[in-house]
Structure 1
Amino acid sequence: MDQPESESQQRDEADPGHRPWFHIPPAEGGDYPEAAYLAGNSLGLPPRATRAELLADVDAWAQLGVEGHLVGERPWLPYHEQLTEPAARLVGALPAETVVMNSLTVNLHLLMVSFYRPAGQRNRILIEDTAFPSDSYAVRSQVRYHGLDPEQTVRRLTPRAGEAHLRTEDIVELLRREGETVALVLLGGVNYLTGELLDLPAITTAGREAGAVVGWDLAHAAGNVPLRLHDWGVDFAAWCSYKYLNAGPGALGGVFIHQRHLGRDDLPRFEGWWSTDPATRFEMAPVSRPPAAADAWQISNPPIFAMGPVRTSLEIFDKVGMAALRSRSIRLTGYLADLLDEIGAPMVTPRDPQRRGAQLSVRVADSGGLTKRLRTEHGVVADARPPDLVRLAPVPLYSTYHDCWRAARALADLGVGA
Structure 2
Amino acid sequence: MQFENSREFAIELDKEDKLSKYRDEFIFPKVNGKDVIYFVGNSLGLQPRSAKKYVDEIMKDWAELAVEGHFYAEKSWWDYHERFSEKLAKVVGANPSEVTVMNTLTVNLHLLMVSFYRPSGKRYKIICEEKAFPSDQYMISSQVRFHGYDPQDAIVEIKKREGENNFRTEDVLKKIKEVGEECALVLIGGVNYYTGQVFDMKTITKAGHDAGAFVGWDLAHAAGNIELKLSDWNVDFAAWCSYKYMNSGPGNASGCFINKKYHNKKDIPRFEGWWGHNKDRRFLMEPEFQPEPTADAWQISNAPILAMAPYLASLEMFAEVGMPALIEKRNKIVAYLEFVLHEIDKEVDSSFEIITPSEQDERGTQISVFLHGEGKELFRFLMDQGVITDWREPNVIRLAPAPFYCSFKDMYEFGQILKKGILSKEKV
Fold conserved (TM > 0.5)? yes
1:139-182 deviations in Å (ceiling 9; x for gaps): 00000000000011111111111111011111112222322121
Displacement of 1:92: 0.9
- Paired with 2:389 and 2:97, the residues of 1 have a C-alpha distance of 38
Indicate the larger mover: 359-368 or 200-209.
Answer: 359-368
Displacement of 1:4: 2.0
Give 2:349's aligned residue. none
Residue pair 1:61, 1:68 contacting (<8 A) in 2 also: yes
- Paired with 2:212 and 2:25, the residues of 1 have a C-alpha distance of 46
Indicate the larger mover: 135-144 or 157-166.
Answer: 157-166
Residue pair 1:371, 1:381 contacting (<8 A) in 2 also: no
Residue pair 2:216, 2:236 contacting (<8 A) in 1 also: yes
Give 2:378's aligned residue. 370
Please state if 1:284 is matched with 2:285. Answer: yes
Residue pair 1:130, 1:191 contacting (<8 A) in 2 also: no
1:324-379 deviations in Å (ceiling 9; x for gaps): 10011010010011111122321111011221010000113566543322111x21
Q: Which residue type is aligned with residue 12 of structure 1?
A: D
Q: Which residue type is aligned with residue 253 of structure 2?
A: L
Please state if 1:407 is matched with 2:414. Answer: yes
1:214-250 deviations in Å (ceiling 9; x for gaps): 0000000000011110111000000000000000001
Give 2:44's aligned residue. 43
- Paired with 2:84 and 2:354, the residues of 1 have a C-alpha distance of 37
Residue pair 1:125, 1:153 contacting (<8 A) in 2 also: yes
Matched positions, count: 411
Q: Which residue type is aligned with residue 361 of structure 2?
A: Q
Give 1:300's aligned residue. 301
Give 1:10's aligned residue. 12
- Paired with 2:5 and 2:93, the residues of 1 have a C-alpha distance of 39
1:67-96 deviations in Å (ceiling 9; x for gaps): 111102111111111111111121111111
| Correspondences of 1:44-59 after superposition (within 5 Å) | 44-59=45-60
TM-score, normalised to structure 2, is 0.93
- Paired with 1:415 and 1:238, the residues of 2 have a C-alpha distance of 40
Give 2:426's aligned residue. none
Displacement of 1:192: 0.6
Displacement of 1:7: 1.6
- Paired with 1:288 and 1:108, the residues of 2 have a C-alpha distance of 22
Displacement of 1:267: 1.8
Please state if 1:382 is matched with 2:389. Answer: yes
Residue pair 1:380, 1:406 contacting (<8 A) in 2 also: no
Q: SS in structure 2 opposite 1:244?
A: coil
Give 2:125's aligned residue. 124
- Paired with 1:169 and 1:97, the residues of 2 have a C-alpha distance of 30
Give 1:357's aligned residue. 364
- Paired with 1:69 and 1:265, the residues of 2 have a C-alpha distance of 27
- Paired with 2:111 and 2:387, the residues of 1 have a C-alpha distance of 38
- Paired with 2:101 and 2:422, the residues of 1 have a C-alpha distance of 44
- Paired with 1:217 and 1:280, the residues of 2 have a C-alpha distance of 33
- Paired with 1:154 and 1:70, the residues of 2 have a C-alpha distance of 46
Q: Which residue type is aligned with residue 183 of structure 1?
A: A
TM-score, normalised to structure 1, is 0.95
Displacement of 1:412: 2.0
- Paired with 1:156 and 1:333, the residues of 2 have a C-alpha distance of 30
- Paired with 1:49 and 1:219, the residues of 2 have a C-alpha distance of 23
| CA gap 1:185/1:302 in 2 versus in 1, 3 angstroms | same
Q: SS in structure 2 opposite 1:415?
A: helix
Displacement of 1:183: 0.8
Q: SS in structure 2 opposite 1:93?
A: coil
Displacement of 1:265: 3.1
Q: SS in structure 2 opposite 1:226?
A: coil
- Paired with 1:145 and 1:163, the residues of 2 have a C-alpha distance of 34
- Structure 1 segments unaligned to the other structure (5+ residues): none
Give 1:267's aligned residue. 268
Give 1:138's aligned residue. 139
- Paired with 1:209 and 1:203, the residues of 2 have a C-alpha distance of 10
- Paired with 1:252 and 1:371, the residues of 2 have a C-alpha distance of 31
- Paired with 1:107 and 1:368, the residues of 2 have a C-alpha distance of 35
- Paired with 2:11 and 2:388, the residues of 1 have a C-alpha distance of 19
Q: Which residue type is aligned with residue 401 of structure 1?
A: F
- Paired with 2:308 and 2:361, the residues of 1 have a C-alpha distance of 32
Give 2:25's aligned residue. 21
Q: Which residue type is aligned with residue 214 of structure 2?
A: V
- Structure 2 segments unaligned to the other structure (5+ residues): 346-351, 424-428
Alpha-carbon RMSD? 1.4
- Paired with 2:174 and 2:375, the residues of 1 have a C-alpha distance of 35
